[in-house]
Structure formats: structure tokens, C-alpha cells
Amino acid sequence: MSPFDRRQEVLDAMRLQSVLTPLEGVPVSLYLQEGSRVEPVADGAFRLPPRGRMETDTYFNAFYLNVWRAHVRLDRLGVLCRARGVVSLRVTAHLAGGGSRILADWMDEGEGAEALHWVWTEGPEEEEEILRLSLSVATAEGAVIEELGYVTDPVADLPLRLVVGICTMNREALLEGTLLALSHFAAQSPTLQRVVLVNHGRPFQRSELRHLLERPLFRVVQQANLGGSGGFARAMIEAQEGETAPTHLLLMDDDIRLDPRMIWRALAFARIAGEVAVGGQALELERPHRLQEAWGRLGRNWLPMVEGGGTDLSDPAAMTLWERVPQADYNGWWFCLLPMTAVRRCGLPMPCFIRGDDIEYGLRLKEAGVKTVPLPGLGVWHASVRYKHAGIVHYYDLRNSLIMAVAHPGLGDLPGPLHVIGYVLHHLLVHRYRSAAACLMALRDFLNGPDVALSADAARLHRELTRAVEGIPPPARVSARPEEMTRPDPFSAQAPDPRPWQVVRLVLMVLLRPQGRAIRLLQMGAPDPARIGGQPYLLALDPMARSCLVMRPQRGRFLLYLAQTLWLGLQYAVWRRVARRSWRLALPRLLSRDRWLREFATRPL
């Protein structure tokens, strides 16, 4: 191949995934293996000191070949390197079963021009299943790596046009960081056309944020608090307005830390994969090495199953999480890239206010033949839900799961009466009386039908629910000494359902167990009735347990709510099919654009 042809091959190669330098404040072990010696320099480049090396079999920098091959056609894969200084490179294939082998190694003379080395070609039959690839780079005298990453053959030049939609409510510090990251991305790429910021809170207070929002990139929509579903529905509608139609809409939460390089990564996959939703993982903002959720799927009785929660991504063993290609039902909208062709076909989110709009929409995409791909190595840091215990959210969890069961009958029937009774009883057995009361209201509203449960004024309904729940006295707050307390394992939705005699035993423990003043249990995450066993405990509100709720059994309230639970469970057993018919008839109206426009009447489009 002539030098001209080689140069053209480099120019035409499609960049799939770049090796990333560590983001400030994030554990280096998410990017580079132990022993790597790298010094970041400007514009994403990095310096290897003399006798320095780097190893990239890590969460952010491994190339997950098994996931890519499951969704796109890769005839061959190359490594592109642009270095100043002589470096040696090695590509290692990590195999099913834990083995590995070297695919290629070579020297790059480092004259500052891109050097492309093809390392893998699709074969008719592979003896070994390759899960992922990693790079090793070493230098004797020192070098600056200006670009390093995986590439493939060029694809048809399909220009991508991106709109970002963010729903926000009074989280200005985190939001400002996200908007700065988006501004940085827009300065580097014309792909980002605009950012639609739907504000459900007070007018912005921070002067730096107000100044930032004066840039033409941003469009701020102020509307009444319609929950996440109302904010994202507005973003979808706004994305379809304008002179040039976007190809993709990126939905993001306001309580995340965004690395703008994740947008490049998501778009590269979307460009080659076609009509798929590309989802990012949620890492804990408070503990940046911990994974909150890798992808979402539905379990029994429409309960969301959090995959990968709690995984320490700095541990090399965490790489096994993606040995099987994820089969996702949905991805959280903390970071989810949607093709606009699918948005136009599937419509707007269910008006469920909060908790479940992303789940239901993921199911709708799935039924429309649009896969959700949780691309490993694509992540944002999200405020942890592990320490959020607001009772009102369980109203939406239960009500919305019942509505989803009606909306998607092909995926399963409505949960049975024993399940909904058990759902409320779960909260009673761990002394979460606000949550239990919220669940009872959810059951009543579902049985009363859509005209009650999804009134035209979602903001007013939410205020009324909040007042009702807050009428129940809240638990006291204290600080814990974790080293002196027992920490029960958190509840897992994947655990088998308890047997009836086990439930009776737990009820009797709440009612009959002597209650001392001393509290010996500290719960981190969702409490499990079997491990609490009727005892009082502290429920941590942060990773260090500096603030905890004092959860004590209240036997009078327990018996009152238990009686209401059994009565409503009986009503549900009798009337759930009638309710299902009324919901099914109302769904086309509830999901319509006109219905949402009436909600947005406080600010016309």
C-alpha cells in the first residue's frame, strides 16, 4: 500500500472508542490498571514517562467486543495511535472462561502521524469467544500519546444531529457542571444543535448558571412541576420543533456528573448500530467507583431488577459483569440516547409523573423492535438512590407498575392480590409507615381508574399526595456509629417470595417482640423484613451514616394499616379486571400529544 493510500485509510477509518485519561476526582483504577504511569496533558493527550507503561483492561477503557458484535457488523478492528516518541503496543484478547491471548504487538516509531494497525478480522468460525480487548503501551525513553483508540472500516456518511433534553428542579450546582460539559462538547462538534432545559423549579439563582444559559445553545422552558415524565415529554416535543430535524435525542437527569467524552462514545455506537437506544450506566456520585445500575430489566410481578448494583468497578473482577451480552428491557434516563425515528413512532412518555416513565418507554421501544443497548464503558455519576427513602415515591412505584401491566399485556398479567398485599406489607414490616400509606393510596387510585389516578393536573395531584403522606409523623434523625452496629444485607428484588408462614411469623415479631431502647441495626440501602425481624433500626441517608432515620415499630399504626391492606387487597381481587378495562380504554388518550399539550398549557409551545 502506498503512503498516500495508507494515509487515506487512516483518514477514512471510523473511530469507535478512544482510550480515555482519568477524569479529575475519579478513581484512576476505572481507566488504567495498577502500575500504569500516565500524566494527562492538554486535549485528552497523555504522557508516558521514561520506562512508563499503561494497561487498559478497565471499565472505561476495555473494548467490549462481544457487546459490539452482538449489535453491529464489524468486519475488522484496528488500533489507531498518534504518538510523539517510540512506543510498543500490544492488544490482548480476553476470552470466555477467564483466559487471554495476545492478538498483536508492534512498535510505533512515533513521528507524530497516525499509525493504523489492524488487529482483528471477523472469521467464519472462531475457536475461542473473545469477550473484550485491552491495550498495553510502553516506552523506553518517554512519549506523548496524542490519540489512541479502536477503529473500523468506514461506514456510510450519515450526519448525526443531536438535541439534549434535561429535566431539572432545584439542583443548580450539579446542573451547571453538566451544562458546562455540554458547552465543551458543542465547541468541539457541530453535532450538538441545542440543549432543551425543562425547569420545574424556581427561577435559577446562581449568576454563573444564568450567564451560561444566555448562550444560543440552550433553550430554557419553564413549566409547572409535571415530574420527570412531563419534563422529558416536553423535551421530546421541543426536539421535534426547529428548522433542522435532529437524528437523536439524549435524555439526561440533572443530578449527574457528565464526562462529555461519553457523548462521543454513544454517538459512535449509534452511528454504526442504526436504530437502537444507547444507554449509559449509573455510577454512584458519592462513591465514584461503585456501580448503581448497569442496565434494567423487569422481574416477577413487574418489579424492576437492578443489574450490577453495588459492583466495585475498580476491582478487576468487575469486568466479568459483561461476559454475557446484556439483555435490557430499559435503561434509566440519567443518560439514554434515543433515535428520533423511534421517538416519532413510539410517541411520548406515559404521564406517570415520576418513577417508571423510562421503564415503560423502554418496553414500548422493545415492542416496536428498537433494542436498548446498555453499552459497557459508557457511564455517568448519578446521585445515589440507595440513600433516598421518601415515602411518596412508593405511591408511584406501585401505581405505575400496575398501569404498565395494563399497557403491555403481552409481557405479563396484572400482579395478583397476594402480590399487592405483600407489597404494602413489606413496608409495614420494616416500619416504613409513610411508604405503606402511599401504597394504599396507589391501590385506591388504580382501582378508581385513570380519571382519578392521572388527573389533568399532575402537579396538583402530587401536592395533595405529598400533604397526605407528610401528615404521618416522620421518623427522628440521628447520626450513627457504624463500627458499633450490625449491618444487615439490603433487600433484593431477586430473592424468592416468602412463604405464608414466614410472613405470619414476621407479623407476630412486630406485634409481640419486646422493644428495648437500644438500636443495634444499621441499614444501608433497602431494608429486608426477614433481616430486620421486627426490631428497631437506623436507616442510613448517606454512605457514612452521618444522618439516619430512626425506624421503630408503631403497633397501633401497624394494625390500622394492616387492616386497610387486607381490605384493599380484597377489593383489588374483586375489581382489578374492571379497572384493567377502564385503563386499557383510556391509554390511547393518556399517551396522546394533545393530552400533554393540555398539561403544558401554562406555557404554550
For residues 520-544, average pLDDT: 92
Q: Rounded to whole angstroms, how far apart are CA atoms 181 and 190?
A: 15
Q: Rounded to whole angstroms, how far apart are CA atoms 150 and 118?
A: 9
What's the grid cell of residue 249?
435525542
DSSP track, 155-213: -------EEEEEEESS-HHHHHHHHHHHHHHHHH-TTEEEEEEEE-SSPP--HHHHHHT
Phi, psi of 577 (to 5 degrees): -70, -35
Q: Vertex 229, ends 226 and 234: CA angle to 5°?
A: 80
- Number of Cβ within 10 Å of residue 248's Cβ equals 24
For residues 575-586, average pLDDT: 94
For residues 468-492, average pLDDT: 90
**3-class state of residue 312 by DSSP:** strand
| C-alpha to C-alpha distances, 350 to 231, 345, 459, 559, 572, nearest whole angstrom | 12, 14, 15, 35, 23
> pLDDT tens, 537-568?
999 998 888 999 999 999 999 999 999 999 99
Q: Rounded to whole angstroms, how far apart are CA atoms 453 and 443?
A: 10
Given a cut of 80, whether residue 497 has pLDDT beyond it is yes
Assigned CATH class of 3-152: alpha beta
For residues 233-246, average pLDDT: 89
Residue spans of the domains in the chain: they are 3-152, 162-382, 389-409+434-472+554-605, 476-551
Region of 402 on the Ramachandran plot (φ > 0 left; ψ -120 to 50 alpha; else beta): alpha
What's the grid cell of residue 14?
471510523
Given a cut of 60, whether residue 433 has pLDDT beyond it is yes
H or E segment at 579? helix 555-590
Residue partners of 169: CB distance under 8 A and separation at least 6: 199, 200, 201, 225, 254
pLDDT at 476: 93
Q: Rounded to whole angstroms, how far apart are CA atoms 55 and 564?
A: 59
**Residue 603: band (very low, low, confident or very high) from pLDDT cuts 50, 70, 90:** very low
User: Please, are residues 337 and 270 in contact by the beta-carbon 8 Å criterion?
Assistant: yes
**Residue 605: band (very low, low, confident or very high) from pLDDT cuts 50, 70, 90:** very low
Given a cut of 80, whether residue 113 has pLDDT beyond it is no
Given a cut of 60, whether residue 349 has pLDDT beyond it is yes
pTM: 0.93
Q: Rounded to whole angstroms, how far apart are CA atoms 400 and 379?
A: 27
**Residue 604: band (very low, low, confident or very high) from pLDDT cuts 50, 70, 90:** very low
For residues 395-400, average pLDDT: 94
Q: Rounded to whole angstroms, how far apart are CA atoms 579 and 417?
A: 14
Given a cut of 90, whether residue 98 has pLDDT beyond it is no
Given a cut of 80, whether residue 595 has pLDDT beyond it is yes
**Do the domains at 3-152 and 162-382 have one common CATH topology?**
yes
What's the grid cell of residue 523?
441499614
What's the grid cell of residue 238?
421541543
Closest alpha carbon to 460 in 230, 214, 190, 177: 230
DSSP track, 407-455: H-GGG-PPPPHHHHHHHHHHHHHTT-HHHHHHHHHHHHHHHH-HHHHT-
**Residue 126: band (very low, low, confident or very high) from pLDDT cuts 50, 70, 90:** low
> pLDDT tens, 256-309?
999 999 999 999 999 999 899 999 999 999 999 999 999 999 988 898 988 999
pLDDT at 132: 95
Amino acid at 68: W
Q: What dotted CATH number matches 162-382?
A: 3.90.550.60
Percent of the chain at pLDDT > 70 equals: 96
